[in-house]
Amino acid sequence: MTTIGVFDSGFGGLTVLRELLPLVPGAHYLYLGDSARLPYGSKSQATIARYAVESARFLVGRGAQHLVIACNTASALAMSDIQRTVEVPVTGVIEPAVEAALRSHPNAQVLVLATTATVHSGAYRLNCAARGLHAIEKACPLLVPLVEEGWLDHPVTREVLRIYLEEALAICTPEAVLLGCTHYPLIAPAIESTLRDLNSRAEHIDSARATALAVACSIQRSNTSAEAPGTALPATPATFQCFATDSVEKFERLGAHFLGRSVGPVQLVDLGG
């Protein structure tokens, strides 16, 4: 059975795990939320890289054969540090999301909504440019706190979205809006309806779903080459174990919203931070 390590600074990456479970059902998942040091989105590159590398080492040490960086900020700022550190295949969230945008909207303007650190990294802009997409990035620092407050369909969230999207649409006319943070799928309906209210026809692209698909394809490829051509994935149900670096009680309570089911008993780990 393949063991897949999924890592995020908190609960957000559970939206990626949620998409992975039906796509790669015959796997054992290890999920690590580095909740003692969240949010990464407002921190510096050096600090984020150090935290992400420690987390990646932990998951590989526990047996992960594939690593999913289910955190836009860590994917933007620590991908090459992680790849240098571990020897297993690593999938981040940025390339799959950009490729999904390219498939559905080639040559289009893409609006990327993300945290401040992700925007400052320029990772989406550079990745899009390399594929002929023109990306405009918009930092949305209040969206993560609003999702964590549970205000998913709330007048304040809609008003904040209206302000952020109005500012962005004043300088671009995108065909696609890329949700560049794993918290944002939980407010995708509010984002869509705000876009309609502002007379935009742009469609949202969910980086969690795009990433899960990329991981499924990568595992299918590596299983095929390592085992026997055409070997089907085993049909056993997926199992998972969650780890957190802070309060497991909060993780168990909030995590269920992101995963769409109980996260099970969460194990507290100390990464020395």
Interacting residue ranges for its own copies, rule: CB under 8 A:
35-38, 42-44, 47, 141-142, 144-146, 148-149, 155-156, 159-160, 163, 245-247, 250, 272-273
List phi, psi (to 5°) of 179.
-80, 95
List the one residue out of 37, 167, 175, 168 whose CA is nearest residue 102.
Answer: 175
Specify the residue, 99 or 246, whose C-beta has the smaller distance to its own copies: 246
Least distance (Å) from its own copies to the CB of residue 235?
Answer: 39
Give the C-alpha separation, 74 to 95, whole Å: 13
- For 72, the token pair is 């836009």
Specify the residue, 29 or 51, whose C-beta has the smaller distance to its own copies: 51
Specify the residue, 34 or 175, whose C-beta has the smaller distance to its own copies: 34
Active site residues: 71, 181
For the chain, the straight-line distance linking the first and the last C-alpha, in angstroms and rounded, comes to: 32
Least distance (Å) from its own copies to the CB of residue 268?
Answer: 9
ω into residue 237 within 30 of 0, thus cis? Answer: no
Least distance (Å) from its own copies to the CB of residue 163?
Answer: 7
Specify the residue, 95 or 148, whose C-beta has the smaller distance to its own copies: 148
Least distance (Å) from its own copies to the CB of residue 156?
Answer: 6
- In this structure, what is the dihedral angle of CA atoms 113, 118, 124, 126, given to the nearest 10 degrees? 140
Least distance (Å) from its own copies to the CB of residue 180?
Answer: 18
DSSP 197-260: HTT--PEEEEHHHHHHHHHHHHHHHHHHHHS-TTPPPP-SPPEEEEEESS-HHHHHHHHHHHHS
- For 144, the token pair is 């993560």
Give the C-alpha separation, 113 to 178, whole Å: 6
Specify the residue, 114 or 144, whose C-beta has the smaller distance to its own copies: 144
